[in-house]
């Protein structure tokens, strides 16, 4: 058997032997999407490399070779012949993992079906709306070097409006999930971004269906595990 050692030029780790999955991540809402999904799948072995964004590790040259956007997470998939595939952007990563590992569609829907396109709709809702708006709210409320009332008001109010959209969706779907009758990528991408909203002054109890959805998903053991993977210890 031929053994392939793959050197991704990561200065903190030596080369890994193919085949493997390696996730470059941090336990932020974006990072949690992927680790939660991997833990839910349950049948996937993967290696985690925690990226300290406080030190701008994601902007170092070796990482930009993997992901030129310099963001987390990024997934490297290496097959048994040593072929290397890098993929970033959380929606793309989750769809890739679903197609490769969720053959029974326990946490996704079959491509080409109506539910698949609804799944895409609500996944892109998070990627284009909820994530960017709540991310800006986080910045202005928690991290900006000076308080900017306009920024705080604009982004917290828009986040609140988007929560209202999710509330309406959950009321109309009536299953406890955003799409179909089971937990899917559509829920997984939004859950970490709804979680912890009290930090920016939004009371999740103002949205009873969304609050119940948040609680129910948060009780799942795989979600609990996935939410902490990639945490910094110091």
Whether residue 231 is contained in a domain is answered as: no
Structural domain ending residue among the three candidates 67, 87, 107: 107
Whether 83 and 155 share a structural domain: no
Better-scored residue on pLDDT, 232 or 26: 26
Whether residue 68 is contained in a domain is answered as: yes
Whether 100 and 127 share a structural domain: no
pLDDT classification of 1: cutoffs 50, 70, 90: low
Whether residue 146 is contained in a domain is answered as: yes
pLDDT of residue 14: 82
Give the whole-number percent of the chain exceeding pLDDT 70: 99
Whether residue 19 is contained in a domain is answered as: yes
Convert the pLDDT of each residue in 107-152 to its tens digit: 999 999 999 999 999 999 999 999 999 999 999 999 999 999 999 9
Structural domain ending residue among the three candidates 60, 88, 107: 107
Whether 54 and 79 share a structural domain: yes
Q: Is the predicted pLDDT of residue 234 greater than 80, yes or no?
A: no
Please provide the size of the chain in residues: 234
How many domains is the chain built from? Answer: 2
Domain range spanning residue 142? Answer: 114-223
Whether residue 28 is contained in a domain is answered as: yes
Whichever domain contains 90, its CATH number is: 3.40.30.10
Whether 126 and 31 share a structural domain: no
Whichever domain contains 154, its CATH number is: 1.20.1050.10
């Amino acid at each position: 058997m031929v053994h392939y050692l793959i050197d991704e030029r990561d200065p903190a780790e030596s080369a890994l032997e193919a085949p493997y999955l390696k996730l470059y991540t941090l336990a932020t809402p974006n990072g949690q999407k992927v680790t939660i999904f991997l833990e839910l799948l349950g049948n996937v072995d993967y290696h985690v490399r925690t990226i300290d964004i406080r030190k701008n590790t994601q902007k170092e040259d070796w990482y930009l070779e993997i992901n030129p956007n310099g963001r987390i997470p990024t997934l490297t998939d290496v097959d048994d012949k040593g072929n290397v595939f890098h993929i970033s952007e959380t929606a793309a990563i989750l769809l890739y993992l679903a197609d490769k590992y969720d053959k029974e569609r326990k946490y996704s829907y079959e491509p080409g079906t109506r539910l698949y396109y609804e799944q895409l709709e609500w996944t892109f809702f998070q990627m284009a709306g909820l994530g960017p708006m709540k991310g800006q709210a986080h910045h202005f409320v928690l991290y900006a070097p000076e308080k900017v009332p306009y920024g705080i008001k604009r982004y917290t109010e828009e986040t609140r409006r988007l929560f209202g959209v999710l509330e309406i969706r959950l009321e109309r779907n009536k299953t406890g999930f955003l799409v179909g009758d089971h937990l899917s990528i559509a829920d997984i991408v939004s859950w970490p971004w709804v979680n912890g909203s009290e930090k920016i002054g939004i009371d999740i109890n103002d949205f009873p269906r969304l609050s119940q959805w948040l609680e129910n998903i948060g009780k799942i053991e795989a979600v609990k595990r996935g939410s902490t993977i990639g945490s910094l210890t110091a």
